[in-house]
């Protein structure tokens, strides 16, 4: 769902989360997760905004008692970390 004037990183994170965390083992939508990872790998300057938004969402959802979405966040962070970290080649 597109909300006007919402930043792109917030839209990508919102689309990544499952619609209802009522299922026992919630996981992010794989297609939307790949879009988020592509965005993060191509725009490394936006990774701090992504991390801040994920932390903000986790705090709000933990306060509301939505453990399913907090668990879905745990599925988002490791692939995000792997896609952003690139090897540094030293020139000698």
Q: Is residue 52 part of a domain?
A: yes
Q: Is the pLDDT of residue 2 over 70?
A: no
When comparing pLDDT for 42 and 88, which is higher? Answer: 42
Q: Is the pTM of this model over 0.85?
A: no
When comparing pLDDT for 81 and 37, which is higher? Answer: 37
When comparing pLDDT for 25 and 52, which is higher? Answer: 52
For the segment 18-25, the average pLDDT, to the nearest whole number, is 65
Q: Is residue 2 part of a domain?
A: no
Q: Is residue 27 part of a domain?
A: yes
Average pLDDT, the chain: 76
Which structural domain, as residue segments, surrounds residue 14?
8-84
**How far is the CA of 84 from the CAs of 21, 33, 34, in angstroms?**
27, 14, 13
Task: Identify the pLDDT of residue 35.
Answer: 92
Q: Is residue 54 part of a domain?
A: yes
Residue 16 in contact with residue 36, Cβ under 8 Å? yes
Domain count, the chain: 1
């Amino acid at each position: 769902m597109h909300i006007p004037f919402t930043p792109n990183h917030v839209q990508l994170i919102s689309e990544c989360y499952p619609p209802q965390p009522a299922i026992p083992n919630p996981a992010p939508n794989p297609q939307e997760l790949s879009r988020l990872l592509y965005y993060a790998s191509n725009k490394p300057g936006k990774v701090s905004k992504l991390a801040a938004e994920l932390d903000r969402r986790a705090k709000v959802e933990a306060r509301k008692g939505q453990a399913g979405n907090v668990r879905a966040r745990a599925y988002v962070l490791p692939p995000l970390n792997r896609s952003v970290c690139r090897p540094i080649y030293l020139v000698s």
